[in-house]
Structures are given as structure tokens and as C-alpha cells.
Amino acid sequence: MRSGRKFRSAVTAAALSIGLAACADSPNGTDGTVAGGSVTIAQLPQSAPNYIFPFVPPGHHTVQNVEQFQALMYRPLYWIGSGNSLAVDEELSLAELPVWNDTHDRVTIELKQFSWSDGTPLTPRNVAFWIGLLRAEKKNVSYYTPGLFPDNLADVAYDDKANTVTMTLTSPVSPDWFLYSQLSTITPLPEAWDLTGPGTKGSCSSTDPAAQAASCSDVYKYLSEKAKSTATYASEPLWQVVNGPYRLKSFESSGAFTLVANTKYSGSPKPTISELNFVPFTSVSAEYDALRSGQQLTIGYVPSNVLKPKKAGDPPGESPVPGFKLAPVQPWGFSYLLINFNNPTVGPVLRQLYIRQALQSVVNQDLYIEKAANGYGQPAFGPVPVSPESPFTRGMSHTNPYPFDVSRARQLLTSHGWSIPAEGPATCTDPGTGPNQCGAGIAQGQKLSIELESYTGDPAVTQMMSQLSSDASKAGIDIKVTSVAPQQMVADAVQCMPNEPTCKWQLINYGTWILNSYPSGTSLFRTGGGSNIGSYSDPQMDALLAATLTSADPAAIAKYAEYASEQIPVIWLPTMASPVYAVKESLSGVAPISPLFNLTPEKWTFSK
């Protein structure tokens, strides 16, 4: 959903969007701004955060939980992205930029002079706490990919006097990859959390690996159980120990929650907005009605279907809500349909490349952007977006290998043993593994019928999925679309084996995956990757991904991206800037909004 840090999975560009509201209640500043004020943030339906512990399991790894909730209270070691930039924001990071040796297998990280709200300083032990948890419970965190961090950590040294952490790795790595994809996932944890039970001190924050090994699993069990109790988030003293610019004041079962400024925040800039109120809405239309009323919201989201049409790539048009300015976000990521290659019914079908080519050929990206999003989006046909510009995208091809073409989709099926009737789905009439047959695991008479789970909350998404189903039917592919709440969709999308009850899902519109600045897809598409939910596996893909981790040459990213475009490990969808933020003119500092969807309300101010 990564994104301030990576790996970050997001439900969707739609489900990521926020809105804000405010009222000034403090004296004016000398620069024409108002000191203080409260901001009310509108959430999309059923997209409220539901996990506070910043050691996040895959089922809870969304932008709402991480970038727009946890990171406001508990700061990552490195803050990635500021405005339109995809670089490290050195001002907001907890450490100086890492220093490498000549062979790129040892890195030293110097912590800044930060403090926790309980008065304790930020020390190497706070980093040790995170690493200890990761070593003990790596399978319970979405950041982990087998063979990578912490498996590639040969040794780690903590120097309290110098306030440094030095990591020695098992082999040389790409410094950019390690910074943007590994170090940026580390969230130092306060020693106040090092407990195995109420009042029982643990040793997971110890710098002794043996002591950590004996304690960290018990500490994880205690903290993760606490994190399951959303009703006690605001009253639990543990969660009040923060090092970010805000702390939690209230958290309601409806999804509403309030953050207030951390008066002991030691970072810079200091927050001037005193309170952030996150408010749920029952529907997009209800939120838009509230926005237009001018009574509650200072920033909200505008459904793309009510925006004045524009050409893709053009600047935003006039806001339909007087007194508000539009602030669209083009996510640094990609939108996709997640494929369950292990589904016992359609897994063998979807493992055939020609089937995935046919599915990709019935995705009418230009039409989706024009009609569903009124021009607020960009086409995507691979795992690395073409914009915003990044040094990691040099040399990439910008040609779609599978443009919209229903005739091509039909030809792909009929040339591989499928018969397409005048109405209804295609049927396998020539089973077998020959070059012109249906393929391994596909039986005589099998229908080309696929169940697709999509999420509610954005009219543009509903329109896209309806159009996809209609176009696919013309090619003999029956796609049955079911709409569910975003949180249900995330819960359904789990790695599974064919014989497991959780393996019933087939295709899921997983929204937008928010990348980190270094766009390696190791966690997503490598065999056994921590976020490889669909169980995709390809030895050549594994080799290309491995090269992105050891080479600083952008060509490594380009080769991986082009191969992924051709092999279609997921069905690529256009990336929509939908809904679109609408910012009240009296609130500044919100735009440009990070393509990683980080929120930095400590930089927001009101004018007089």
C-alpha cells in the first residue's frame, strides 16, 4: 500500500485519499498565518485504520494504517518523499544519511538527537528493538522477503556513545535499494514497549542477540494482542509513547479518531495544527454533500465523475466546489488485479500466459481514464510508473505490449483450444499441453469463467469493473464482479495453497500498490516474497529481481520492469488520481501531496 516507507501496500488510490476541515482558534502569526487550529479529515467509506502497532502483518498493511495513522505518531528511521519528490526527506528522518564502506556490504547509521514523549532519548536500543522483533517474528510482518533483511544481516553493532548502528551484510548490495526498501521499513520502538506482560519487562530492546532471542517472541505476542483491541487504543498508555508530531486522543468504533499535537515533539518543523479529526462517511456522495455544504470540511475529496473532463496529463481544471482548490495525486505505484495462481479452480487457467495476455487485452485503459476518471489518471502496463520522473526509470520502455484489442483476445483463445459461442463463456475443447491446446491442468469442457472481487467506495472503480466485464464477455471471458468493503478485500487476499479454505478467491481488484522510491518488486513478484499474495513464481523473474538488489545501474530496474510487463504477473490497470483532493484556500502546505501518500500535517498552516 510503501510510500513513506517500503514496502507499502495500499488498498487503492481511492481508498488512500483524505479530506480535511478546520477552524482557527489561536492568535495570528507575524507571517500572515494562524497559529493553531483543528483539521477534520474525511475518510472514504470503510477505510478507517485498524492497526496501531507499527510492526504490521500483511493483512493490515494499508496506507490508512501506516502512512496516514502510525507514521504520524511513530516515525520511521528514514522518511521517504516530500511533496513531489521521491527522495529521502532528511529533515523528517530520524537518522543522518547512511554511510557505506567501499564494497557496499557494511553501513553505518547515525541517529539524530530525538526524544520520545516519555522523556527518554532515541538510542540504538530503539533500533535494536525493531531488529530483534524482525528476527524473531519475520513471518508475521509484511516487510519480510526470505533471503533479504534480516536474513542478509551478518552482524550488527550498536554504539551508544556515538549513537550509531552499524550493519554488516552477508554480501554487497545496491545502496539505493537497501536505503529505500530496507532501512526505510525500520521504525524504532520505545523501550517502554519492551514488555512480555503487564508490568513485566522484556529484553527485546537488548543489544545482545541471545537475550533478544529469548524474549522477542513473547514481547511480540503481548504487543500484537494489544494492537487487536481497537477500543483501547486511546486509553492504552503504551500507545501514548510517541516520537512523531502527533499522539492519539480518541479512537471510536465508527472509525472516527482524533490526533493532537505532541507538545514534546523534538523534530522540525513543530506542528502548528493542534488537532486532526478523522471522520468517516457512509458513502462518497455523503462526503461530497458535506464538502459542498461548506459547514464541516476544509479539505475533502471530489469524486472524479463530477470533475470537468480534461485530457490525461493536463493540469487540474476548475474546482466544482467554490472556495476549494483541486490537488490531484498521481500515485508512485501501479493499480492491478491480483491473480491467485493457486486457486484450485482457475489457477491452472490463469497460469497460462496466453490467458493473461487475453485478459490484459480486454483492459481498455484509455477509456477508463477518459470516462470513469475524466482524465485524472495515467495508463500503466508494468510495475514501474512512467511518472513522476525518477532516476530509477531511465531506459525504460513506455510501450504497452498488450493494448486494448478484443479481436486479439479472441484469437489468443481460439488458437489455444478454446471454442467461443455466440453468447456465454469460452469452453476448452482441445485439452492438453501442446502449443495449440488449452494447457496443463485445464480439463475438457472447462468454462472460462472467473470471479473478480472489487472494492466499494469509488464510483470510478465501479464503472471500470463494469466496463471490463462487458469487454471481456465479447472475447468469451466471463468475469463475475462482486463488490466488497476495502477491509474485507484485504482480508480475503491471502497467500494460500490450493487445498486451503482461504484459497477460494480468484481475481481481486487490489487497488494501488504504493512503491518506495526504488521500485524493485522483490516482495511482490519474487517466489516466496512477503507480499506475493497470488503465489506467482518464475525463475527468470527471480533472477531479474535479484539483480535489482545488487546493482546501482538503472538498467536492472528497466529489464525487470519490461519482463514483468510481458509476463503479466498481475493484470495491469490504469493508475487513477481518484478521488481528487479539494483543499480549502485558507489551508496551505498540503499540496503538492506526496505520490507516496505520506501526510505531513506538521507543515500545514492556516492563513488569516
More confident residue, 407 or 457: 407
Cell of 263: 507538545
More confident residue, 58 or 159: 159
Given a cut of 50, is residue 307 above it in pLDDT?
yes
Element (H, E) at 531: none
Residue 190 phi, psi (nearest 5): -70, 145
In 10 A of CB 120, how many CB atoms?
Answer: 15
Average pLDDT, the chain: 89
More confident residue, 270 or 295: 270
Per-residue pLDDT band for 545 (boundaries 50, 70, 90) equals very high
Per-residue pLDDT band for 31 (boundaries 50, 70, 90) equals low
Span 240-247, average pLDDT: 98
Q: What is the pLDDT of residue 311?
A: 86
Span 420-441, average pLDDT: 97
Span 173-179, average pLDDT: 91
Task: Please choose, from the candidates 246, 202, 40, 66, the residue with its C-alpha nearest in 3D space to the C-alpha of residue 143.
Answer: 66
Q: What is the pLDDT of residue 15?
A: 32
Per-residue pLDDT band for 486 (boundaries 50, 70, 90) equals confident
Highest mean pLDDT among 58-72, 88-102, 170-184: 88-102
More confident residue, 189 or 308: 189
Choice among 103-107, 229-233, 571-575, 604-608 with the minimum mean pLDDT? 604-608
Q: What is the pLDDT of residue 3?
A: 31
Say how far residue 557 (Cα) sits from the centre of its chain. 19
Is residue 192 a contact partner of residue 116, using CB atoms and an 8 Å limit?
yes
Q: What is the pLDDT of residue 28?
A: 47
CA 396/CA 292 separation, integer angstroms: 42
pLDDT in tens, 376-404: 888 999 999 877 777 777 767 678 999 99
Residue 372 phi, psi (nearest 5): -80, -35
Span 563-568, average pLDDT: 96
Choice among 150-159, 197-206, 376-385 with the minimum mean pLDDT? 376-385
Span 360-367, average pLDDT: 97
pLDDT in tens, 443-455: 999 999 999 999 8
Span 262-281, average pLDDT: 94
User: Within 13 Å and on the Cβ side, how many CA atoms surround 387?
Assistant: 12
pLDDT in tens, 96-143: 999 999 999 999 999 999 999 999 999 999 999 999 999 999 989 988
CA 396/CA 374 separation, integer angstroms: 27
Question: SS3 for 149?
Answer: coil
Cell of 273: 495544527
Domains in the chain, CATH or no CATH each: 8-239+579-607 (3.90.76.10), 333-399+449-576 (3.10.105.10)
What does 205-265 look like in DSSP terms, one character per residue?
A: T-S-HHHHHHHHHHHHHHHHHHHH-GGGTTT-GGGG---SSEEEEEE-TTS-EEEEE-TT-
Q: What is the pLDDT of residue 515?
A: 84
Choice among 45-49, 401-405, 540-544 with the minimum mean pLDDT? 45-49
CA 15/CA 531 separation, integer angstroms: 19
b/e code 34-71 from CB counts within 10 Å (16+ = b): bbbbbbbbbbbbbbbbbbbbbbbebebbbbbbbbbbbb
Q: What is the pLDDT of residue 552?
A: 66
Q: What is the pLDDT of residue 498?
A: 96
Given a cut of 50, is residue 563 above it in pLDDT?
yes
More confident residue, 419 or 576: 419
